[in-house]
Amino acid sequence: MTGIAGLTADEFYRQRDSRAGMVATSTAYRVASVGITLGSDATSFADQMTFLTAVNLTARWCRTITLSAPAVAVDSRLGAALGVTGLNVVEVAAALAHAADPFCRVGTDRLTEPAIHLAVGIDVPAGAYPILGRGWIAMAGNAVRSAGDTDNPLGAALAASIGVAYLFRTAIGTQRLSGVRLSLWNLRGGEAAADGPDLRDASLGRVLVVGSGAVGSAIIYLLPLAGLGGEFAVVDRDLVEVSNLSTAPIFFADHVGVAKVEIAVEYLKRNGVMAVAHPLWFDEAVRAGRIFVQRPDLVIPVANDRDVRRQIQHQVPPLQVYGTTGRNWDACLGRHIPLKEDCLTCRFPQPQLVGEPALACGSVTLPAVPEAGTPVTATLPFIPTAAAVMTVTELVKTTLLGYPRNVNFGCLDFLGNVGDFLTVPRERSAGCICGGQRDLWRHLNAATMFAGLSDE
């Protein structure tokens, strides 16, 4: 049985809000009344992307939402991505909110002024907090400017995350955000934030996505919208639970009980991206010969259970790009260029007693990893999507000349003023297993798409 049939509203919210409850300092968000407006001057693809993503993420925690938007048709790219046709943008927004939370109160009347108001555009209602995405830049508050590329979804999606953070922070009484200007191109804030080139469609080759939870599903949501394609394999044995509805922008109430990978792969295929689902844990997929038989060009490791990071590193992987979240409202970007930068086990060295992993060069049968429940990740709805935007931005950069352009770790602190990225070059750890994999890495990965990045 799938969906939430039989659940009362109280039980639905108890399960859904369990993750936010581990992080938020107050439960006042449960009674917050929020308004989200798409300005009459902001109806482009990027603006609709910001509006619909903000509504989607807000409906993951807020139970009363008022929507306002011009009566314009939803952009065809967003309509295709979301699987809707023949609706205007506010109708799509309301449908998204109800699909994420069937018990929420969503309306388009303004008889009651919402307590907190977010608006996309320049010409916004009095008292509303403005947000806007242009090109690679996300803006909010008094830093909003209208000029820029309206066909790039990257700055738009980050602007939505910032806007929802503003709503949530205001709802729980945390210090409100003021002016924000962030560049995903050079990972800088304020006046140092620089815009980047126009996007073009590009292939990432053979891509292995390990995990399709909060960050993984948000990455998958953004990939086709950013024009990225390839041949994707998605590995995850988890089923969607009610708690997942608080963070994952492609999971909705009628998906509860369905395999996460099936939803992720259906979304990619609907958007013209080749994809195959492997509803197995990573170690099971390796042993079954489902993955790493043909080397991937790129790995997106966005799972953190069953010692999976060490398991991946034992497969001597090619280039890896991914996002993570932290309990302190952190959205982070990670990258590993093999032989030149640190590896997964350098960065996540915690030992876990879960058996020995299968080896990339091995032919014997090793003990299976014991069953273990998926760890519960405490996070807030807007943080995984912000981490996913940073990840997809980095993936776009892999297709451009001059890569890499930034260091291999970046972090955005949504508990602070969101004024700039923290960027730190992460170095290899002495004695890590990656130090002994150099010759094997070259043997296994020499023909992969991004192998040239590891040339010395």
Q: What sign for the dihedral angle of Cα 71, 75, 78, 80?
A: positive
Residue 370 has what pLDDT? 44
Residues 395-412 have pLDDT tens digits of 999 999 999 999 999 999
Range name among 16-30, 129-143, 196-210 with the lowest pLDDT average: 16-30
Residue 363 pLDDT level (bands cut at 50, 70, 90): very low
* CATH number of the structural domain 202-454: 3.40.50.720
**Secondary structure string (H, E, C) spanning the chain:** CCCCCCCCHHHHHHHHCHHHHCCCCCCHHHHCEEEEEECCCCCCHHHHHHHHHHHHHHCCCCCEEEEECCCCECCHHHHHHHCCCCCEHHHHHHHHHHHHCCCCEEECCCCCCCCEEEEECCCCCCCCEEEEEECCEEEEHHHCCCCCCCCCHHHHHHHHHHHHHHHHHHHHCCCCCCCEEEECCCCEEHHHCCCCCCCCCEEEEEEEEECCCHHHHHHHHHCHHHCEEEEEEEECCCECCHHHHHCCCCCCHHHCCCEHHHHHHHHHHHCCCEEEEECCCHHHHHHCCCCCCCCCCEEEECCCCCCHHHHHHCCCCCEEEEEEEECCCEEEEEEECCCCCCCHHHHCCCCCCCCCCCCCCCCCCCCCCCCCCCCCCCCCCHHHHHHHHHHHHHHHHHCCCCCCCCCCEEEEECCCCCCCCEECCCCCCCCCHHHHCHHHHHHHHCCCCCHHHHCC
Q: What is the mean pLDDT of residues 37-55?
A: 95
371, β-bridge pairs: none
Superfamily of segment(s) 27-192? NAD(P)-binding Rossmann-like Domain (3.40.50.720)
pLDDT at 360: 54
Q: What is the pLDDT, as a whole number, of residue 293? A: 94
Tokens representing 293? 């038989």
Does the predicted TM-score (pTM) go above 0.75?
A: yes
**What sign results for the dihedral spanned by CA atoms 245, 251, 256, 261?**
negative
Same topology between domain 27-192 and domain 202-454: yes
pLDDT in tens, 382-394: 999 999 999 999 9
CA atoms within a 13 Å half-sphere pointing along the CA-CB vector of 10: 0
Mean pLDDT of 306-327: 95
Q: Structural domain boundaries of the chain?
A: 27-192, 202-454
Q: Is the pLDDT of residue 376 over 70?
A: no
The answer to whether residue 5 scores a pLDDT higher than 90 is: no
pLDDT of residue 375: 53
Position 270, amino acid: R
What is the per-residue pLDDT across 16-40, written as a single tens digit (0 to 9) for each? Answer: 999 888 888 899 999 999 999 999 9
On the question of pLDDT at 362 being above 90, the answer is: no
Q: Given a cut of 80, is residue 109 above it in pLDDT?
A: no
List pLDDT tens digits, range 212-228: 999 999 999 999 999 99
